[in-house]
Each structure stands twice: as C-alpha cells, then as structure tokens.
A and B are shown apart, each in its own frame.
Chain A
Amino acid sequence: MATTQRTPFEQFWRRFRKNRTAIAGGLIVLSVFVIALLAPMLSPYDPAHIDVEKILVGPTQAHPLGTDELGRDILSRMIWGSRISLLVGFVAVGISILIGILIGAVAGYYGGWIDDILMQFVDIMLSIPTFFLILAVIALVEPSIWNIMIVIGVTSWMGVARLVRGQFLALNEMDYVTAARALGAKDSRMIFFHILPNAMSPVYVSAVLGVAGAILVESSLSFLGLGVQPPVPSWGSIITGGKDTMEIAWWISLFPGLAILTTVLGYNLLGEGLQDALNPRLKV
C-alpha cells in the first residue's frame, strides 16, 4: 500500500473541515465580506439619503429594518457599515500584529536586558485599564477612521508580542536554529527566515480573534462618538442614533447590534476552529 505524504496544509484542512462550528464561523465571515464588497448593489437605498416624510418608520416592506431619525434606511446604512467594520478590523489588527511580531521577536531572540526592558514595557501597557488606554490616546488625536485604526493597533499588540516571544524562546533552542547560526546567518536572516515562519501559527489564530476584538472596540468608540464620525455609517454610530429615540424606535439600535454580534461571533468561531486544527494536542 502506497503511503501518501500529506502536506501540513492538507492535515490542517482535514481537521478543520470536520469542525462544524468553525465552518459556520467561516461562512459568516465570508458572507460579511461579500456584503461589504457588493454594498452598492445590495443596499436598497442611498445610505445618506434623507427622507423627511419617512422619519422613524418601523420595519415595513419598503424599509425592512425601518428608518432612523432623519428618515435614512437602516438596512442600507448597515450594509455600508459592514465596510467600515471590516476595514477598521483588518487594518488595526495588521498594525497590532506588525508591532507585536517585531517586539516579541526582538525580545525573544536577543533575550537578556533587551527582553527585560521590552517585557516590562508590555506589563506597563497591560496594567492600564484597556479602554482608558485607548481613550487616552484618542484624546490626543482627531477622531477619524484612520486614527481609530492606528489607535486600536498601537494599544492591542501586547498579546501578540508575548506569544511571539514565547515561540522564539522555544525555537531558539532547536537544533536547526543552532545549525543555521553555526553557518553564520545574520541576525535579521535568523529572525525573519528561520525562526519567524515557524512561530506564526498561534499568531494567525490571535489575528482572527483580534479582528473580532477590533470590530467590538471600533463599534464602542463610534457609539461613544469618538470613532468613525457621521455621516459615515458605522454599526456603532447607528446605535448611538437609536439611543436618543429608544423609547419610540427600538429598531434603530436592535439590528446593527445583531450585525456586530453575528460578525464577531463568526470571527471567534473561526479563530477557535483554527486553533483546534493547528494545535490538535490542546483540544480539551
């Protein structure tokens, strides 16, 4: 009987595919992507179109999810809002992963006093109440979508840095690393070509979970009026609009919240599934 060697990706895919909740999470993630991409085609109305004759209309056939205090269609605004959530989620996580990898790799590779200083810094960052840290930085810049991404990125890299550092500490002791060092590889080559590729799998997981976290933070900030500024529709800011009229128009804040919940749930399930498929030993 011929034994076929499976590539690591095939092994991963075989495990992942059996996990039904992870597949469900993946489907949610995919469909939010499709909605964001096809927003101009899918949305029934212009998200900024103000209709004074249809202010605060409940869910009807013409407006399946109702209209807001300016007569704008909630469904259309939510469809366009998905772009904001994904954009902020991905760019913010990209930034935080870049910083995290750099700091974690340098700390784990060089060790000694460099490691001590960097990890002290991580501990200091982690001891500031999370939301206080984000808001304190927001207070220093103008609230705009790009600043929000940067702020979320620079305040959320600590977990990744710890992960990468741990991986580097373990991989530093491996024979192949010693061999590469004996061959005279430069530090940068050691870090980026030899060690980092093998340290990445937990980073992928934390990236996927990080997107969920960033979407939540963005919506909270936009809800507080410190995030994406009107008239750009964001799920968080639509909910703010519903706060003032909550006694008469529950639909304004209900549906965007469900959209956030579903999207975040999708990324969390996908992330858990990735984790189980990448590290089968950890499965409880």
Chain B
Amino acid sequence: MHLAPGEPTDLQTTMNPRVSAQAKENLRKLYGLDRPLYVQYTQWVKRVVAMDFGTSFVDGQTVAQKIMERMPITIVINLLSLILIFALALPIGVYSATHQYSTFDKAATIFVFLGFATPTFWLALMMMILFGVVLGWLPISGYQSLDISAMSVSQRVWDWTNHLMLPVFISAFGGLAGFSRYARAEMLEVIRQDYIRTARAKGLSEYVVVYKHALRNALIPVITILGLSIPGLIGGSVIFETIFAIDGMGRLFYQSVLSRDYPTIMGVTVLGTLLTLVGNLLADVSYAFANPTVRLGRNR
C-alpha cells in the first residue's frame, strides 16, 4: 500500500502518447507530478487522512463520493456472506469432528475439496444459467429491480432477497469450504484433550460437553482464521459484483482498472484495506465474547 502511490505517476505520462510535450508538462504541474516523489507522497498521505482521494480521471466526480455511493452494498453482501459462512460452516465442522469418518464427514470432506477447486466466477455463471435462465426463478443482475421505488416495504425486502441470494451464496462459497474444514480440525484437536474426557467422566451430557466445553475453546483459532479470510472475501467482490452487475466497490474497482483511473484505483484499494482492518478488529473484539478470560484493558 505504501509503495503503490508512486507508481501511477510513471504511467500517467505514458498513457497518451499523442499529447504534446507542453500539454504533458501542464498536466504534470496540475497534478503536482513535477515535484519530487517524496513530496507527492506526503501530500497524497495528507489528503488521504482527510478522506480526499482526488478526482476521477473518467468523469470528474470526486473519488470519495464515488466510493461512498458504492460501499454500502459491498459491505452488506460481505457481512451477509460472513454470517452465512459462520452459521453454516461451524455446525458442519462440529458435526464432522464429533462424527469423524461418518458418511456425513466424508461427504463434507468431498464438498470441501470441490469447494477449494471451484472457480467462483464459473460457479456464478452456472448458477445464473440454472436459476436465472433454465428455471427462471431468480433475477441475474443488479441488487434491486428498476421499479423498486413503486414497491411496498415487504415487496422491497422480497425483491432484495431475490437479487442478493445468488451473490451472497457465491461470495460465501469458497470461505464455507475452507472454514468448515478448519472448524473440524480445531474441534478434533480440542475433543481429544483431557478436560473433555473429564467433562464426560463426570457425567455431563454430550450436548454440554460439545457445545459448552469443546466449542468455546475451538472457537478462538476459528475466529482468527475468519479474520484472516476477510481480505479474500472483499477481494472476491470484484468477481461477483462484475458478474451480477452489482454497482459496488468491486465493480467500481474493475471499471477503474479497465479505464486506468488511478485516483479511483488507489482510493478503493485504501478503503478496501481499511475495511479489512476493521474486520480484523471486529474479530479481535469477538475473542472476548467467545472466551470471557480474554479481557483487554483495566479490568484484567
């Protein structure tokens, strides 16, 4: 991230070979490119701290405005898919671990390997063909219908659900596989510990042993991995937003890469990184919920 801001300046001048030398020079002065790199960089950092990413090369809108318009839908989809991953992968992992080598466990293992190997953009396309074209059940582009403003509240919710079902599923798919695998491995590790045997020996029910004693301890590394998977998840927005024509940050990023709109590229990258860091912070905070012995600060 700290290296990148210098680079667009090199390319800006080579972008359009037909511009006269004088015009090039004026442009360089306008963007401050005639000044030493470290000056440019400090100025860029100063502006970024104030959330000023400059103006888009394409339409003259400010980058901050462009991003702010598109960020909510990206955050909503990523949050929904995080929730979906957590809600599905955890039970799958726990059940696989407590019933190791059962039919369910084997089926889950096969699913995991297929999940790792499936290109998400292809799966998205196949789902669109199946549910959108062949069966005609779901809309295949955008996140709301064109006539959304004429709908009642319940109709709107239904409309959004229909539009977001596939994107959320696709965005969760890869994480689902990896995450349930990881939850399984952690549970297997924990369930062999002495204190689990003790808990069983003192006659606690299987439910209490698994969900109160084992799961809580397996949860911490699982949350860590969830935090680490956030960059991949947000990065995946580029793919599913492009395919499903959802106007979020990912699609904005893709379009700005195509048009070489460097201020926008930098802005989206910075904000994407910021989202990642916020996600990691949330993961850290949720340690405390999973395990009350983790308490930060004065009340230690």
Residues of A within 8 A of B (CB): 124, 126-136, 138-140, 212, 216, 219-220, 223-226, 236, 239, 242-243, 246-247, 250, 253-254, 256-257, 260-262, 264-265, 268-269, 284
Contact of A127 among B121, B236, B276 (CB under 8 A): B276
Contact of A132 among B2, B185, B253 (CB under 8 A): B253
Most buried by B among A136, A212, A253: A136
CA distance A236 to B272 in the complex (A): 25
CA distance A236 to B1 in the complex (A): 28
Give me 16 A-to-B residue pairs in the complex whose CB atoms sit less than 8 angstroms apart, sorted by A's number: A126-B231, A131-B232, A131-B239, A135-B254, A139-B257, A140-B8, A212-B117, A219-B122, A224-B121, A226-B257, A226-B258, A239-B122, A250-B129, A253-B122, A256-B122, A260-B117
Name the residue on A nearest B270 (C-beta): A128
Cβ of A69 to closest chain B Cβ, rounded Å: 15
Cβ of B17 to closest chain A Cβ, rounded Å: 14
Majority secondary structure of chain B interface residues (helix, strand, loop or mixed): helix
A129 pairs with B231, CB closer than 8 A: yes
Whether B119 is near chain A, meaning CB under 8 Å from some CB there, is yes
CA distance A254 to B114 in the complex (A): 15
Q: Which residues of A contact B260 (CB under 8 A)?
A: 139
Cβ of A39 to closest chain B Cβ, rounded Å: 21
Most buried by B among A129, A212, A257: A129
**Mask for B101-138, Cβ within 8 A of A = 1, else 0?**
00000000000011011111111011011000100000
Name the residue on B nearest A209 (C-beta): B116
Q: How many interface contacts (CB-CB < 8 Å) are there between A and B? A: 136
CA distance A7 to B39 in the complex (A): 60
Majority secondary structure of chain A interface residues (helix, strand, loop or mixed): helix
Indicate whether A224 sits within 8 Å of B253 (C-beta atoms), given known contacts A127-B276, A257-B122.
no
Most buried by B among A130, A134, A220, A265: A130
CA distance A51 to B118 in the complex (A): 31
Binding stretch for chain A, among B205-213, B215-223, B261-269: B261-269
Cβ of B241 to closest chain A Cβ, rounded Å: 11
Cβ of A266 to closest chain B Cβ, rounded Å: 8
Whether B142 is near chain A, meaning CB under 8 Å from some CB there, is no
Cβ of B19 to closest chain A Cβ, rounded Å: 19
Name the residue on B nearest A222 (C-beta): B121
Most buried by A among B125, B262, B275: B125
